[in-house]
A and B are shown apart, each in its own frame.
Chain A
Amino acid sequence: MSTSIRFLVVDDFSTMRRIIKNFLNDLGYTSIAEADDGKTALPVLKAGDVDFLITDWNMPGMPGLELLREVRGDPATKKLPVLMVTAEAKREQIVEAAQAGVNGYVVKPFTAQTLKEKIDKILASQAAG
């Protein structure tokens, strides 16, 4: 599995971005960009510098679900792997995210094991697909 994958971590809390970034570093990934909501994430995504998007849902500006829809609606990014890491834990929300085309859903607080599993699973299915 390539560690040159370029991640974009989108979360309005700098501590959470830092935790996910540290964790990705631990897993051997070194290329990690950050954004604090969908609006600041979009230009980075449009520039085509991202292979894997990890996003929160509840953010001021543009929330994660809207970002996901933007990503799926743009031919350039519609196949980008998107993992949602969020405190939003209602069944309706998870179903809605799934219907909007999310590739994985992790509920906060999460363990390192869970996050690793979901990332690995998405990358494996990307490689297979």
Chain B
Amino acid sequence: MSRYRGVMAKLNHAYAAGDEGTFDDLLGELNSARELSLRTGIAKLSQSLAAALARFQLDSRIAALAGHEIPDARLRLDHVLKMTEEAAHRTLDLIEQAAPLAEVTARDARVLGETLDSRSHSDIRQFLGEVQSNAEKVRANLTEVMLAQGFQDLTGQILHGIRKLIGEVESVLDELAQVSGVPLERVAKLNATDPAGPSVPGVTVNAVANQNDVDDLIAGLGI
């Protein structure tokens, strides 16, 4: 209020003197000073409101990610691991069952071919029955192997979802880094020879392209 004191004194003075022109000017000056401070106040208020809202949105996104979406993604990944493992074992089971049937059929066919002249019709009929039954079992196993590949659809969908989630986490971390002013580049670097799992095109640096490359490299080292 003290900042108005000077103007008020002049205003009083103009009023007492009956100087209408000066009185109006001073009144206008008072008004605009008041407007300016109001505007500055509103601007400050809206700024801090925006910051609070942004912080709140970031906070609630972090809360949702940490409290729900990431634990959820972990469970989904566990499920992917389980499904892929089960499908691989199922496929291996079916192959282990089918391989001996194919082997026995091939062996019996060879033996029969070699001894055909001395074989009776009933021997041949028995062999044909065996061929038919084994081939049917192998055929059925192939269908089961094919069905077992259905895991890829399900695991693929889950992995797609998790890929999206990782993008979301990345952008939240990026925003957090900006808010806190910490640069995002302090990524823990692996040693070049630390195990990092299957090489990924476009990610893994200095990887061999195929087994021939490995063989060349190994041969160059004298092994």
Contact = CB atoms under 8 A, between A and B. Distances in A.
Interface of A: 13-15, 18-19, 22, 57-58, 63, 65, 86-96, 98-99, 102-108, 110-111, 114
A98 B207 contact: no
Sorting the interface of chain B by its residue count into under 10, 10 to 19, 20 to 34 or 35 or more gives: 20 to 34
Given A91-B217, A94-B214, A95-B217, A18 B89 contact: yes
Per DSSP, chain A at the interface is mixed
13 contacts: A14-B89, A19-B92, A58-B196, A65-B195, A86-B195, A88-B199, A91-B207, A92-B192, A98-B218, A99-B221, A104-B223, A107-B208, A108-B198
Interface string B125-166: 000000000000000000000000000000000000000000
A89 B192 CA distance: 11
A90 B196 CA distance: 9
B197 A87 contact: yes
B59 interface: no
Contacts of B197: 58, 87-88
Contact of B88 (A15, A91, A107): A15
B83 to A, nearest CB: 12
Most chain B C-beta atoms within 10 Å of own C-beta, residue among A93, A96, A108: A93
Most chain A C-beta atoms within 10 Å of own C-beta, residue among B89, B92, B95: B92
Contacts of A15: 85, 88-89, 92
A25 B195 CA distance: 29
